Amino acid sequence: MQCKIAVFAVFASLAAAQDPSQLPRCSQPCFQNAVADSGCDQRDTACLCSSSDYVDKVSDCIEGACNMEDL
């Protein structure tokens, strides 16, 4: 459950900053790699956040790539 909360916090950070370089380093590839399957432009955060495929892929990736300390 704590990991899900941390993943949500990373998504919130992206939405607020709209700059992936501000995200934890371990999560950056997760956001970048999932764009291709989302059907969205990488700068269209509204589209990305509404894409359940994108959100699911990023969440799964972050859970595997990052430790709680990273987030």
Q: Is 53 assigned to a binding site?
A: no
Using alpha carbons, list the distances in angstroms from residue 3 to 29, 40, 41, 45, 57: 18, 26, 27, 22, 15
48 contacts 59 by C-beta, under 8 angstroms: no
Residues that constitute the known binding site? 44
Residues that constitute the known binding site for heme? 44
